[in-house]
Amino acid sequence: MKNTVLAPSVLAADFANLQRDIDMLNASEADWIHVDIMDGIFVPNISFGIPVCQAIHKHARKPLDVHLMIKNPDDYLEAFRNAGADRLTVHYETVTHLHSTVNRIKELGCKAGVALNPHTPVHVLEDIIQELDLVLIMSVNPGFGGQKFIEHTFTKINKLQQLLKATQSDVWVEIDGGVTDTNAAALTKAGANALVAGSFVFSSEDPLLTISRLKKLTAIKSEN
Ligand code: DX5
Ligand code: ZN
% residues pLDDT > 70 (the chain): 97
Q: Is the Cβ–Cβ distance between 199 and 145 less than 8 Å?
A: yes
Task: Give the CATH number of domain 5-223; options: 3.10.20.740, 3.30.230.70, 3.40.190.10, 3.20.20.70.
Answer: 3.20.20.70
Tell me the domain boundaries of the chain.
Answer: 5-223
pLDDT given for residue 189 in this prediction: 97
The answer, yes or no, to whether residue 221 has pLDDT greater than 80, is no
pLDDT given for residue 89 in this prediction: 99
166 Cα: distance to centroid of ligand 1 (angstroms): 30
pLDDT given for residue 2 in this prediction: 77
Q: What is the pTM of this model?
A: 0.97
The answer, yes or no, to whether residue 3 has pLDDT greater than 60, is yes
224 Cα: distance to centroid of ligand 2 (angstroms): 24
Per-chain mean pLDDT for the chain = 97
Nearest alpha-carbon partner for 56 in 86, 16, 83: 83
The answer, yes or no, to whether residue 224 has pLDDT greater than 60, is no
Give the ligand with the smallest distance to the CA of 46: 1
Using a 10 angstrom Cβ sphere, with 0-12 exposed, 13-18 middle and 19 or more buried, the burial of residue 224 is middle
Catalytic positions: 36, 176
pLDDT digits (tens, 9 = 90+) for 10-57: 999 999 999 999 999 999 999 999 999 999 999 999 999 999 999 999
Q: Is the Cβ–Cβ distance between 163 and 125 less than 8 Å?
A: yes
Neighbour order of strands in the sheet with 85-91: 5-8, 194-197, 172-176, 134-138, 111-116, 85-91, 64-69, 33-38
pLDDT given for residue 157 in this prediction: 98
Which residues touch 89 (CB under 8 Å, ≥6 apart)?
A: 65, 66, 67, 68, 112, 113, 114, 115, 134, 136, 174
36 Cα: distance to centroid of ligand 2 (angstroms): 5
pLDDT digits (tens, 9 = 90+) for 140-160: 999 999 999 999 999 999 999
Q: Ligand 1, residues 11, 33, 179: which to mutate, most atoms within 8 A of Cβ?
A: 11
64-69 and 33-38 as β-strands: parallel, antiparallel, unpaired? parallel
Residue 52, φ and ψ in degrees, nearest 5 = -70, -40
Q: Ligand 1, residues 21, 87, 196, 202: which to mutate, most atoms within 8 A of Cβ?
A: 196
Task: Show the ligand 1 pocket: residues with CB < 6 angstroms.
Answer: 9, 11-12, 34, 36, 67, 140, 142-143, 145-147, 176-179, 196-200
Please report the atom of ligand 1 found closest to the CA of residue 9: 9
pLDDT, mean of residues 199-221:
94
Please report the atom of ligand 1 found closest to the CA of residue 197: 12
180 Cα: distance to centroid of ligand 1 (angstroms): 11
pLDDT digits (tens, 9 = 90+) for 166-205: 999 999 999 999 999 999 999 999 999 999 999 999 999 9
pLDDT band at 1 (very low <50, low <70, confident <90, very high): low
Ligand 2 is an ion; residues with CB less than 5 A from it? 36, 67, 176
The answer, yes or no, to whether residue 220 has pLDDT greater than 80, is no
The answer, yes or no, to whether residue 223 has pLDDT greater than 70, is no
